[in-house]
Amino acid sequence: MGDNRWIQNSITPPIEYYTSDDGVLMGVICVDRLDGTFGIVVLDYNNLKQYQAVEVYCDIDTIDNARVALNDAMGNYVRDTAQMSQLGKPMDFFAQITSDKELSPLFQKLKSDDFFSSARAAIEEISPYIEDRDGNLVEQLQTVNGFDARIWELYLLCYFREAGLNLDKKYDVPDFVLYKGDERVAVEAVTIQRKQKGYDNSNIPNYTTDEMFQKLENEIPLMFGSSLYSKLKHTYENKCYWELPQCKDLPFVFAIEDFHEDMSMMWTFNGVITMLYGIDQRIEQDNDGNNILINSSGKAIVKESKNGQTEITPLFLDRAFENVSAVLFSATGTLSKFNRMGRQAGLGSKNTILFQTRVSYNKSPNAISPIFSGHIIDENCHETWGDGVNIFHNPLARVPLDSSLFPGVAHHYYKDGMLYSDTPHDYTLSSFTWNIKSEGTIDTNNCKFRFTSPEQFQTVMKQWVMKL
């Protein structure tokens, strides 16, 4: 049996996976990045519902020999039941431990509503790999005041794992000290709390375009700014985050999500840009009726108070924020993300249809409008955890962030009053997931649509009977 340190220090990500017929045993083949030889790992399912490495062999000369060795190792493996059952009890996210009075309506839906069965199954799958470092993760996930923040943290963990980032579990503060090879980065999660503590479809805001633009002038940017500024001033043991030994000289990132209203993250994206860089972007029509992109920099964010008006400097143009390397924001880090990721993995009930409508980045030359599309969520989908994540880099950062640490997401850079973006192919700007009660068999292979305009999108959507 090989040295377990080989798994952590030398290998590339697995190139082939194999499972036993019952799914209890897993085998992977990896490549040793140091000498190009192959290695195999056999993993067994322990009582914490985690896959645990039980056999490791390295220095195999060819991929074919690695396959033979893995087949033999899995076939000859004899389970040590006592060893695999001595690790305690797995964490149960859904056993209620909070009072009915404090119970979140969204948690109740997640726990028992068939519409969220795929999200529930997805969270059950990842929960064995989550460590409750501060001892109140499960309790807060179940409460009105803690549900959104804990869902956001779970989502971030899923993306970080997908991105190949490992969590250094020695530290409780900040939320994540991550490493990839010799590179390290610190991340603190931030949420904008919802005004409405419950959840009721009838109370979902229905703003007009003009009302949204009006809110994006000052209200929404200031909302992001207030949450970020509070974190900037937060101290732990009388030290700012970046002064802590575990964060010293590391790039530091605030990861923020907007939960202030249901579906708010679908339209508040520009508020982040305005607050960070003082850039205002909108689509208007010229005299000939053509859509044109208006990009203006140097926008002043105005804060009203009883003492009058105060102009706020955009955060990433303010030296006070030089210790913040970047801000991570996602329009999709919500419960619906877990529902879609679970469904495409084949998890959960099939009694409902998940239909995702998307606004995605249009990479066509001189494109102004994004691409509007929609499709059924099934096992043919290939959504990633990173789809929908935006990372805004601070041009004044004392320690700049290396974008390669966060692959598969959109990176945005500011220079001379302009925002430059590097986005993946078919990247999601915003998304909404319709949960449709199935009234019969639906052939999902023939229910895929692509829309080229908002008008076509609305026409097709009106043909659907949505039962939320």
First CA to last CA across the chain, in angstroms? 54
pLDDT confidence tier of residue 10, bands split at 50, 70 and 90: low
Three-state secondary structure call for residue 225: helix
DSSP calls for 44-103: EE-TTS-EEEEEEEEEESSHHHHHHHHHHHHHH----HHHHT-S-----TTS--S-TTTB
Contact between 116 and 140 (Cβ < 8 Å): no
- Tokens describing residue 395: 């041009």
Query: Taking all residues of the chain, what is their mean pLDDT, rounded to a whole number?
Result: 84
Q: Determine which of 106-115, 122-131, 319-328 has the lowest per-residue pLDDT on average.
A: 122-131
**pLDDT tens digits, residue range 91-106?**
788 989 988 889 999 9
- Tell me which range, 8-17, 41-50, 319-328, is most confidently predicted by mean pLDDT: 319-328
Other beta carbons within 10 Å of 292? 12
% of residues, the chain, pLDDT over 90: 47
Average pLDDT of the residues in 35-51:
88
Average pLDDT of the residues in 186-208:
71
Match 């028992």 to its residue by tokens.
112
pLDDT confidence tier of residue 431, bands split at 50, 70 and 90: confident
Buried (b) or exposed (e) across 313-326, using 16+ Cβ within 10 A?
A: ebbbbeeebebbbb
pLDDT confidence tier of residue 440, bands split at 50, 70 and 90: low
Query: What's the pLDDT score for residue 460?
Result: 45
**pLDDT tens digits, residue range 57-85?**
989 999 999 999 999 999 999 988 877 77
Query: What's the pLDDT score for residue 379?
Result: 92
Give the sign of the dihedral formed by CA 170, CA 162, CA 75, CA 23: positive
Other beta carbons within 10 Å of 235? 10
Query: What's the pLDDT score for residue 403?
Result: 96
pLDDT confidence tier of residue 455, bands split at 50, 70 and 90: low
Q: CA–CA separation, 383 vs 428, rounded Å?
A: 10
Q: CA–CA separation, 111 vs 87, rounded Å?
A: 26
Given the DSSP bridges, would you call strands 418-422 and 428-437 parallel, antiparallel or unpaired? unpaired
Q: CA–CA separation, 288 vs 320, rounded Å?
A: 44
**pLDDT tens digits, residue range 295-324?**
677 777 878 777 778 888 899 999 999 999
pTM above 0.85, yes or no: no
Query: What's the pLDDT score for residue 46?
Result: 84
Query: What's the pLDDT score for residue 467?
Result: 29
Whether the per-residue pLDDT at 461 is higher than 60: the answer is no
Whether the per-residue pLDDT at 277 is higher than 50: the answer is yes
Q: CA–CA separation, 5 vs 18, rounded Å?
A: 22
Query: What's the pLDDT score for residue 18?
Result: 93
Query: What's the pLDDT score for residue 292?
Result: 66
Q: CA–CA separation, 431 vs 384, rounded Å?
A: 13
Q: CA–CA separation, 346 vs 64, rounded Å?
A: 31
Query: What's the pLDDT score for residue 372?
Result: 85
Average pLDDT of the residues in 287-300:
71
Q: CA–CA separation, 176 vs 252, rounded Å?
A: 10
Contact between 110 and 335 (Cβ < 8 Å): yes
Long-range Cβ pairs for the range 130-139 (8 Å, 24+): 130/91, 130/154, 130/157, 131/169, 132/91, 133/169, 133/172, 134/172, 137/91, 138/91, 138/92, 138/93, 138/95, 138/97, 139/97, 139/98
The CB-side HSE value for 143 (13 A sphere, CA atoms) comes to: 14
Whether the per-residue pLDDT at 446 is higher than 80: the answer is no
**pLDDT tens digits, residue range 381-423?**
999 999 999 999 999 999 999 999 999 999 999 998 888 999 9
Average pLDDT of the residues in 190-195:
83
* C-alpha distances out from residue 83 to 43, 127, 385, Å: 13, 21, 34
Query: What's the pLDDT score for residue 238?
Result: 93
Whether the per-residue pLDDT at 32 is higher than 60: the answer is yes
Contact between 433 and 340 (Cβ < 8 Å): yes
Average pLDDT of the residues in 287-301:
72
CA of residue 82 relative to chain centroid, distance: 37
**pLDDT tens digits, residue range 212-256?**
777 777 788 888 889 999 999 999 999 999 999 999 999 999 999
Q: CA–CA separation, 468 vs 456, rounded Å?
A: 22
- Tell me which range, 54-68, 184-198, 354-368, is most confidently predicted by mean pLDDT: 54-68
